[in-house]
Amino acid sequence: MARVDSKFHLVHLSAKRAREINGYFAHLGEGLGSFVPPLISTDTNKPLSIALEEIATGKIEAGEPSEEHVEDPLAFIEDDEGDEAS
């Protein structure tokens, strides 16, 4: 808990990292290289346990998303409607 600001943030961060680790193990033989392997060596092979250990050791840090440039995901709809009306 010392690494994150709330229990919810810890659960969210660990679940996200556990999905990444699980994806790495699932695609291990395919050689895709798009998944990050576990950042620590541990005795367990459970993705959630590995994720929590990574957070506890400081390998994974919680960060706030930047809101500098936020695009409207529905902007393309407005553009299409304007083209059809002309």
Domain that holds residue 26: 7-85
Each residue's pLDDT, cut to its tens digit, for the chain (86 residues) gives 677 778 888 888 899 999 988 888 888 766 666 677 888 888 888 999 999 899 888 888 776 655 666 677 676 676 555 555 55
DSSP character at residue 62: -
Q: Residue 18: inside a domain, yes or no?
A: yes
Q: Residue 81: inside a domain, yes or no?
A: yes
Look up the pTM and report it: 0.63
Cα 18 to Cα 24: distance, rounded to the nearest angstrom: 10
Q: Residue 1: inside a domain, yes or no?
A: no
User: Would you state the pLDDT for residue 15?
Assistant: 92
> How many folded domains does the chain comprise?
1
User: Would you state the pLDDT for residue 26?
Assistant: 82
Q: Residue 28: inside a domain, yes or no?
A: yes
User: Would you state the pLDDT for residue 65?
Assistant: 56
The residue among 3, 38, 32 whose CA lies nearest residue 19 is: 38
CB neighbour class for 54 (10 Å; exposed up to 12, middle 13-18, buried from 19): buried
Q: Residue 33: inside a domain, yes or no?
A: yes
The residue among 50, 5, 4, 3 whose CA lies nearest residue 24 is: 50
